[in-house]
Amino acid sequence: MRYKFIDLFAGIGGFHIAFHRAGARCVFASEIDPSARKTYERNFKSISPELFNGGFNEDILKILPGDIPEHDILCAGFPCQPFSQAGYKKGFEEKRQNSGNMFFVLADIIEKRRPKAIFLENVRHLLRHDKGKTFSVIKNTLENDLNYNIYYKIVKASDYGLPQHRPRIYVVGFRKEDTYPETFEFPAPIKLVTTMSDIFGGGHCDKEIGYTLRVGGRGSPIDDRRNYEYYRVNGKVARIGPTEGKKLMGFPDDFVLPEAESSAMKLLGNSVAVNAVEIVAKKIVKYLGLR
């Protein structure tokens, strides 16, 4: 069976790559940022052409949950700004562009469409935001209001093959009415075979695992505590650009990004770590087959 998935808050399509490789088919995607939308369509129109015949939504707030196609797996790297240290830490009270309420938009879709599985990604600080109250609301909503068995874990990109820390919380859920012969477990970490030296094309880098690629704050000197883009390679200072950024995030070499470096790096910094998501995606697809 080829499972159908939807890709919400899709960015440039890290979830799409992961689940496509896992054998699933994307039937709906939503992304509001114009640059990300253009990048998404340019890279996925050839592998998911039917998606762009009315299935690529621009604003998730302007579509009714019942108008979203039926699907087996709901994927969402929902906006992390309201819950991250980089944001205002206002959680559900964040009013800017209603982004603090986006989890409840997801909840409405889940309630209406009842996907077999859900896979949410967010910054790790979501787990302890507001002394744990924010995540408690999310978990309670999914488990008790929506009736899903929930599993979650803080995952580093380096756990699953990419040489950067990038800790993120992964939340996976399955409908309680479906029975499985075993509980879901996240894949065990794998041995890291790609290092920052490989990211820089084989030159010797002074770090095996790199900093978390992020949005904003570029240009801090290499010895500054805020630096996340400069490394010493063969004794010289080297900077992460789009070519290295794609490798660091797990995107294929032929993935097309905007020509402007600042735009490309912003899109990469907002994305998910593809290799990590892919390993979990394959475990989800395999688990669904146990029913």
- Active-site amino acid positions: 80
Q: Kindly state the tokens that stand for 57.
A: 């939504």
Ordered alpha helix ranges (H), the chain: 14-21, 34-44, 102-113, 133-140, 196-199, 242-249, 261-269, 274-288
- 114-137 in b/e form (b: 16+ CB < 10 A) is ebbbbbbbbbbbbbebbeeebbee
Partners of residue 137 on adjacent β-strands: none
d(CA 170, CA 226): 26
| Identity of the residue numbered 52 | F
> Rounded distance, CA 270 to CA 214, Å?
7
